[in-house]
Each structure stands twice: as structure tokens, then as C-alpha cells.
Amino acid sequence: MNSGDKLFGRLLKRAPTAATDLPDHLGSPPLGLHLHLDADGGVLQVAGPLRNLLAQQPPHDQPLPLHRYVQPHSTLAIEGRPVEWQGQSLDLDFPGLGDQTLHLRGWVQPLGNGWRMQLIDIADLLLERQQSRSREACQTLAGQISEQLRACSLARLPVIVDEQLQAIAQRWHIPCLALAVLDEQAQGWKIHRQHHAHDAPALWHDGQYLGTALDSLNGTAPQHVGIHHGLDEHSRVQATFGNSEGFVVPYADDRGVVAWLLCGFYPINDGAPYLSDRDWLLLVSALAGPLLGRLREQQHHQQLERLESLQTLLGTGWWEIVGNDVHLAPSLAAALQLDAASLTREQWLARFHRADRDELHSRLQALQQQGEALTLCVRLHSPDDWKHPLWYRLQGQVTGTGEHRRLVGFMLDISDIKNQQQIAATAHARLDNLIASSPAVIYVQHYVEGALQPAFFSASLQPLLGWSLDDCTTTALVERVHPDDRDLYFERTRQLLREGSVRARYRLRDSRGDYHWLLDEAKLLRDDLGLPVEAVGLWLDVTEATLAAEQVRQSEERYRILVEDSPAMICRYRPDLTLTFGNRPLAMYLECAPEQLPGINLGEWMSDEQRETFVQRLSSLTPEQPVSTAEINLQLPGREHAWWVWSDRGVFDELGQLIEVQAVGRDNTEVRRTQQQLTQSAKMATLGEMATGLAHEINQPLNVMRMAIVNVLKRLSSGDVQIDYLTDKLNRIDTQVQRAARVVDHMRVFGRRSEVEQQPFNPATAIEGTLSLLAEGMRGKGVELRVSETGFEVQVRGYVDQLEQVLINLMVNARDALLSKRDAGREFKPWISVYAERDECSVRLWVEDNGGGIDPRLLERIFEPFFTTKPVGVGTGLGLSVSYGIVENMGGHLSVSNSVEGARFCIELPIVLDV
Ligand code: ADP
């Protein structure tokens, strides 16, 4: 028995004697018990060395029957009388002292009248039989366990382990059973699986780490634990079981103890008295051996899988040169889009970029011949993109010697890194280039005891200011700052140190003595402790920008003055007519201070109709045609009417939405008034001109009336007065009075000034009014009037009296032309034709005569003011020009052409649709 077994023995908690003395004991002669029986089996006498061990001692008075001495189950063997037992071997169990049982085997022989029974101790014999039976069972079970564990799939392994634990536990009635294995990573013992009976508490759980208990039972050298430290391992193991009883069985392989079987609540001697230590060891090795093998296999498998996926993820893989062939990891072959994972060395080399091929070839040879380790960055032709090669780091080494010598290595895809390096290098180069060629200077100033000392300037310093770093010591730099800006510069440094960053603008002198405006932006860099280390900054030459800004400021100032002092009204307003700005003249008209203008609504000064027209006009503004000019009419505070010539320019957002209007206005009221006066005087002139016609117009009814009155008076004086006659005459007089009254009425209306606001009216009423004034006079002069009924109802916008004035002008002009033509030839039949026609949107009134027309050379000039062909004192030359203005003002147009017989004037007016 070696020291390991001893250790196990102690761990198995066996009394050393029980196990070690067994073989010796079997060899010694049995010491017996001798019973003297009577013929009925009564015990007369008890002798022999075992006599004192019997629980039942013979009484003194009378013999007890034998079955009183043996245990109840043994009474079967001694039924009847001793004579019947003769020739048989009797196995009898006797109750011994202290709950022990004496296993004895005996025979009966006749002795005198009675019988002599000789019994020998067969306990050891029984024990051995039990043990061998147990061992057999144990070996069978162990065989099953190990076979099951070896044969099952990895997935079912935990279930199988559980089943085996359960089988062991049930076979030997172990309440709590667990397998602890060495966790090499955690360097501790871990419960792999555990089993406990339904009525037993769980001492452990799966995956539990056995913190302290088995720590010192370091599996690497079990036999040393006890010896060197002299510690009682058993007591430590005991802690694993708490207060309950239990024992542990180790499993050792070539690495030492790597697993333990833990049995809890289990006094081994009682539980499995016939299982030897070897049996336990066999059992645990049947369980732990294959299990650990399988677990290792699983681990290996997982590791391989991990390695494989890692290789795939990293775009890496191993390669190995065998003879003239190169084998590649499947992942690598896939990444390189190779059909096979094995190719010849030449084929492999051909995959590499021509630039790297020779070097790789020679380095591979060096590896093969001298065993020189290989590290190389190589390019591979990308299967997808011929222009952009893949970059790989290729490493190789020699492992093993002799026939185990291998050339292996790996390839790692470093395209990303290489590409980034290249991008970074390009970006760097670009940045350098940019800095060098930009009007900016990058500088670094070191922080030294509270001051900042120039330490670096980018190369752009030379072209920009004509200095080098050496020219720029701290003091030299300050001297170059413009004297007016030095305070600014010192404050810049203070602020930089105080706040960590600064932005300043000051002038710096260049090597030629010219000053540059520099925009200085700097940041202070601090160390881990927050102490300043250096300032990094940028000088931007903003001389041009600064000067330009100054110019803009000046020009803005000029424009501001222009706007403010302009005699014109200038303003900005929103599409809802709210002013956002207005200059002094506008404020003056609106009788407030310029500051009060924003917020005022321009519409306040307009009538509803005017406002509507105004807003409508604004809505016609587009980004393409943003300008519109119109004469607007307002009711200003304290003034009757104001006429402004108003130009609007729309400002649009990117969606073409009107956001603001800029407007310039001029007060046109005076011009308007003059115009009105002019119209009025022209009207008066027309009236004057018509005076002759009018006299006739009124004279005519007067004559008729006088005739009627004379006739009536004549009748009255002759007394021949009939009521009918009188009534007839008086009615005639009344008709004439009405006629005269109409003429006078109309004269009055015509003489009035026009209304301020244009009104919609039917142009036919103007024709009627004109004819009521002129018809009689025309006829009196022998001019035929040809008037066609309009036959339609339309509305135009303007002033009816003004349109009448136009028609009167045209007809009077025609009359003049006709009369002067008739002066030449008496048989001439003059006529004037007045008619109207319309289309969708306009109405045209025609006034045509047969007076011979207008000299074509004068056609263009007749609308000019004061143009006349009539003698001085007769013509004013205003009639047509005023008429032209009136028609334009109504939104229409007055034109003239020559027809076959005379002149033909056309008044074209827009029809108002929605009245
Ligand atoms: P006035 O009648 O005072 O001369 P107008 O402006 O009314 O001023 O007319 C300008 C001129 O146009 C006239 O002098 C005349 O020569 C010419 N004119 C106008 N109407 C006619 C017409 N129907 N036929 C011929 N000439 C005409």
C-alpha cells in the first residue's frame, strides 16, 4: 500500500485497521463457541472464547432453548430437534454485546444423551463475500458509467452525468452526491453536477465554486498536501459538508488530482461497508475519467470554433508549407477567393503583388533554410478590385526539429489599417499644403512662468509677414504689434491664460513695414494637473476683409443718410401692410415720429376698396417681376386726399413666398390737383364753347313756348277758349320747360368737379348725357347724328361726367371739322356717327365723322397739350390731351385713325366684371 492509498484511506474515513488487517485475519484459525444441548435443543452449557461476547448469557436455574440465543432470522435454521440438524452446516447469527452480531457457523455431534454444537466465527468470510459481490456490482456499474459517458453526444452529456450520479446515489443510498472538478482557469474546485435525494437537503448546486474547503487539496500533488503541511485534510474536507457527515473520493490523472466525488450525509462504514477504497476509486475514475475527457474534447472543439471565427473575423488564417505545397486555413482560402485550401508554392506567390513577390520568395527561403523568422507586409491582388490591392501582414516561423520540423505562419488582413494610414498620410499632406498655402499662420507658444513664448510658426509665416521664428521672440513680437493695438494684444494674452481661449483682432507689422489686420484665435492646452503647457493658435490675415467691412460700413452709412434724408418716402412693410421701417418724409405725412412708424398699418389710410386694390396689386408680384408702380390714393390725417406714386419691390423667400415689400413713394397730390384743375378748366372751356349751342338749345323751347302763349292769348281775347285747346297748349309749354330744365340741370352737373373715387357706371349713360347737351345744336347746324343703340349692359370704372367730357370734345372737334368742310362746298352732307361695341373684357366707343380726317403727319401730335390747328383764340389745343388723360386714368386708351371719309376716334375701356 503506497502513501497515496494511505491518504485516500484517510480521506475515505476508514479506520486503518478495518481495511489493513483484513487479510491477516482471514488466515488465522477461528476461535469458537461450544454449546452443550439437550435432546430438545435446550442449552445446558456454554463454553469457548466467544462465550463472553454473547448478549444472552445462560441462566443458572434451567436451560434456555437455543432459539432464544440466536437472532430471530436464524431461528428458521434450527427448527425441530438437534437430531434433525445432524450433518448440516448451520449459519447462525447471535446477538452480541453492544449491538454487535456474531456470525457463526456450526455443526452438531451427539454427545452422551445430548448434543454438542461447535461454532466458529465466519464474519470475515461473510465480509469478503459481500465485498467481492459489492466489487462486482461496482465494477459493472463503473463499466456502464464510463461507457455511457463515452458514447453519448456532447449535448446529452450533462443529462447522462446526472443519470450516473443518480445511479450511484441510489445504489449505495447516498443522500447527497456531487462531482467537483478542477477549474484550471479559476484555479479552484467547482461542482460540475450534483444529485440529492428527495428527502435530503441540497448541500451544493451545479456550477458552485467550493471556496475554501478544497482549496488546499491542490490537485497537482495530492500526496504532498498532508505530508508537508501536516494538516489534517480530512477536517478541511469536512467543512465541505458542514456539520453533516460525509467523505470525498479523489480522481487523479497525469496532472494529479483533478476531480472529487463528494458524498454528503453519508457515514461510509455504515452506508457501504463492503466497498473498498479501490472500489470507490474505480467508481470515481469511471465517472470523472471519461467525463473530463469529453469536457476537454468539448473545450477543444469550442476553441477550434472560436479560432475559426476569429480568423474569419480578422481576415486572418494560418498557412503551412509542406514540400512544394502551401496549405491555407479554410477561412483564409475563402477570403482570398481560392477554390482549394491547398496550392503550389508558385501559385501562391503568383497571388502576391509583383512588387512584393521577390522579397517574399527570398524571405521564405531564408525561413526554410536558416529558420529566420518572417514578418512582412505584402500586397495581394484583390479578386474584386484590381486597382486597390489587399494588404496582409505575413508572419512565419519554424517549429519543431527533425521530422517534426514545420514551416507555419499566419496572414492577417491589414488593408483597413493600411488604407487608413494612406488616407491619413494624404490628409496630412493636404493639411500641410493647406497650412503652407493659406493666409493663415498656425503657431504654438510655450507657457514659461506666466508668459507665452513663440515656439513654432507654420511655414506660411514667411510669405504672409516675411519673418521667421527667430525674428519672433516675445519682445520682438510685441514691438511688431501696432502701437494702437498693443493694449488689445496684452489683454488677449491675459484672457487666454485666464479663460483658456481667446479671439482677438489686431494689426501686426510685416517685414516691409506694412500693417496686416490679423484675426487671432488661440486655445490654451493644459496638462493633467490643469497647469498651462502651451497655447496653440491661428492668425488669419483679415486685412482685406476688415477694410472691406469698413467700406461696407461707410457705404451703409451713406445709404442710411440717403434714405433718411431723401425727400421721397421710403419704407419696408410686411405683406399685411404693417410697416417695419419708414423714413422721415413718410413719418411726416403720417404725422408721427419715424420711430413710431414700425407697427403702423398702411391700410389704415385707405378705403376698403383702395386697400383691396392695393393688396391685389401686391399679390401680382413674383420673384421674376418683383416691381410694380401705381398711383395710390389715401386719406391722410388732416388732409382731404393724397395721391402718391408708389413703387413696390417684393422680397421673396426661397419658396417664392412674399415676405416683405420695399417701397418708394412720391407725393403726387399737387400734380393731381393741377391735373384736376386742368380738366376742370378744359371742361369750362368746353362749356364756353358750347354756349352758342346752348343758347340755341334753350332758345328753341322758349320760341315754342312764346308761340303757344301768343296763340292762347289770341284765343282768350277773342273769347273763343276751349278747355281742350288750353290743356293742349299748356302741356306743350310744360314739355318745353322740362326740356330746358334738363339741359340746365345737366350743365350744372357737368360743371361740378369729379368725385375723388372712381365709380362703376354704364358708358351708355355718358353717351345719352352728351347727346342731351349737343343733339339739338348739331341738328341746328345741319349735322346729322347717327347714333346706334348699344344693345348691351356693361360697367366701366371712372367718372361719368369725365367720359361725357371726352365725348363732347370728340363730337365738338368733329363738328368743327365738318363745318369748316361745309364752308368749302354747300352740298356737303355732314354726319357724325356714335356707336359702341364690346368683347370679353373691354368696351369700345366710336366717334366717327366724314370731315375728311386728319393730316397723317399730324396724327401722332394731336394728343399733345396745346396742339391745335385752329386759329388763335378759337382752339386751345387742350381738348384731346385732357381727353387722353381721362381715358388713361380710367384704365383705358384713346386712339385715332383715319377712315375713308374722315376721322375715327376710339375710346377703349376695360369692363368691370364683378360689380
Ligand atoms: P382744339 O380743338 O382746341 O384745337 P384739340 O386737342 O381738341 O384742340 O384738337 C387738336 C387738333 O386735332 C385740332 O386742332 C384738329 O386739328 C385736330 N382734330 C381733332 N379732331 C378732329 C377731327 N374729327 N377731324 C379733323 N381734325 C381733328
3-state secondary structure 574-642: CCCCEEEEECHHHHHHCCCCHHHCCCCEHHHHCCHHHHHHHHHHHHCCCCCCCEEEEEEEECCCCCCCE
* Cβ neighbourhood burial of 429 (10 Å; 0-12, 13-18, 19+): exposed
Mutate to test the pocket of ligand 1, among 807, 808, 813 (most ligand atoms within 8 A of CB): 813
Lowest mean pLDDT segment, chosen from 546-550, 659-663, 698-702, 792-796: 698-702
pLDDT score recorded for residue 671: 85
800 CA to centre of ligand 1 in angstroms: 23
pLDDT score recorded for residue 6: 44
832 CA to centre of ligand 1 in angstroms: 15
Is residue 798 predicted with pLDDT exceeding 70? yes
Atom of ligand 1 nearest to the CA of 905: 23
Is residue 446 predicted with pLDDT exceeding 50? yes
Is residue 31 predicted with pLDDT exceeding 50? yes
895 CA to centre of ligand 1 in angstroms: 13
Atom of ligand 1 nearest to the CA of 877: 8
Task: Report which protein residue has its CA nearest ligand 1's atom 22.
Answer: 814
How many C-beta atoms surround the C-beta of residue 59 within 10 A? 10
The one-letter code for the residue type at 855 is D
Is residue 693 predicted with pLDDT exceeding 70? no
Is residue 11 predicted with pLDDT exceeding 70? no
| Beta bridge partners of residue 180, listed in sequence order | 191, 260
599 CA to centre of ligand 1 in angstroms: 53
pTM given for the model? 0.38
Q: Give residue 229's pLDDT band: very low, low, confident or very high (50, 70, 90).
A: very low
Is residue 669 predicted with pLDDT exceeding 70? yes
Q: Which protein residues touch ligand 1 with a CB less than 6 Å away?
A: 809, 813-814, 817, 849, 851, 854, 862, 867-870, 875-877, 879-881, 903
Task: Report which protein residue has its CA nearest ligand 1's atom 10.
Answer: 868
Task: Report which protein residue has its CA nearest ligand 1's atom 23.
Answer: 814
Mutate to test the pocket of ligand 1, among 687, 819, 880 (most ligand atoms within 8 A of CB): 880
906 CA to centre of ligand 1 in angstroms: 14
Q: What percent of the chain has pLDDT over 90?
A: 24
848 CA to centre of ligand 1 in angstroms: 13
Mean pLDDT of 544-556: 86
Atom of ligand 1 nearest to the CA of 810: 20
Q: How many residues does the chain have?
A: 915
Is residue 131 predicted with pLDDT exceeding 50? yes
pLDDT score recorded for residue 830: 93
How many C-beta atoms surround the C-beta of residue 834 within 10 A? 20
Mean pLDDT of 136-156: 89
Contact criterion met (CB below 8 Å) for 708 and 732: yes
Is residue 535 predicted with pLDDT exceeding 80? yes
699 CA to centre of ligand 1 in angstroms: 28
Mean pLDDT of 765-793: 86
Give the model confidence (pLDDT) of 337-384 as tens digits: 888 888 999 988 888 888 899 999 999 999 999 989 999 999 887 767
**CA 23, CA 879: separation in Å to the nearest integer?**
161
pLDDT score recorded for residue 17: 38
**CA 379, CA 356: separation in Å to the nearest integer?**
7
Atom of ligand 1 nearest to the CA of 809: 7
Is residue 29 predicted with pLDDT exceeding 70? no
Give the model confidence (pLDDT) of 713-741 as tens digits: 888 888 887 888 889 888 888 888 887 87
Mean pLDDT of 820-843: 89
678 CA to centre of ligand 1 in angstroms: 18
Is residue 680 predicted with pLDDT exceeding 80? no
858 CA to centre of ligand 1 in angstroms: 10
Task: Report which protein residue has its CA nearest ligand 1's atom 14.
Answer: 868
Backbone angles phi, psi at 92, to 5 degrees: -125, 140
Is residue 20 predicted with pLDDT exceeding 50? no
